[in-house]
Amino acid sequence: MDNKIYLTQEGYDKLFQELEYLKNVRRKEISQRIGEARLLGDLSENAEYDAAKEEQAQIEKRIAELEGKLAQAEIIKESDINTDKVAIGLKVKLKDLENGDEFSYTLLSNEEADFEKNEIGISSPIAQALLGKSEGEEVEIQVPRGKLHYKIIKISLPE
């Protein structure tokens, strides 16, 4: 089983920066808050201490999650991408065969995708239906609201 997480260089850098921020800034801040809360007295009824410890646990959980993802990351190199077929890291222009609308999605890892930027995660139903298809092919995609009928107009590298 392939446990790799495919990321663009930009996506990798973003996760790495978040990890560095959590380790070098947030850890110190929360440690200071815990120390200050300890000075307030009885820890059994100290809401500030409890809140700080809970936040510390969340930060440590996210740090471990990011370290795991980055350890499994493989950076997608544009030079290695073939635009003959839909694959992760590519932009796909589609035509809705029901209403004629045209739009584009960039297929990225689930960790990197941002739907607001027309980026979809590779495990989404739309991405799964498009993977491996070529320009000119039609696809039928089952989504919660029904079936979508698209034609692949163009496959390209993102701008």
Could you report the per-residue pLDDT of 126-158, keeping only the tens digit for each? 999 999 999 999 999 988 888 999 999 999 988
Residue span(s) of the chain under CATH 1.10.287.180 come to 5-75
What is the dihedral angle through the alpha carbons of 86, 133, 70, 25, rounded to the nearest 10 degrees? 60
Distances (CA, A) of 84 to 102, 127, 157: 20, 16, 11
Rounded Cα distance between 127 and 123, Å, is 6
Q: Which residue has the higher pLDDT, 122 or 44?
A: 122
Residue 78 in this model has a pLDDT that exceeds 50: yes
Select from 3.30.413.10, 3.40.630.40, 3.40.140.10, 3.10.50.30 the CATH code of 79-156: 3.10.50.30
Give percent of the chain with pLDDT exceeding 90. 58
CB count, 10 Å around CB of 121? 18
Kindly state the average pLDDT of the residues 89-99: 93
pTM: 0.72
Select from 3.30.450.20, 3.40.50.300, 2.80.10.50, 1.10.287.180 the CATH code of 5-75: 1.10.287.180
Which ranges constitute the DSSP H helices of 39-156? 47-72, 125-130
Question: Do the strands 138-143 and 119-121 form a parallel or antiparallel pair, or are they unpaired?
Answer: unpaired
Comparing CA positions, the residue from 10, 23, 24 lying closest to residue 113 is 10
Residue 1 in this model has a pLDDT that exceeds 60: no
Q: Is 118 left (phi over 0), alpha (psi -120 to 50) or beta?
A: left
What's the whole-number average pLDDT of the chain?
Answer: 89
User: Three-state SS for 33?
Assistant: helix
Residue span(s) of the chain under CATH 3.10.50.30 come to 79-156
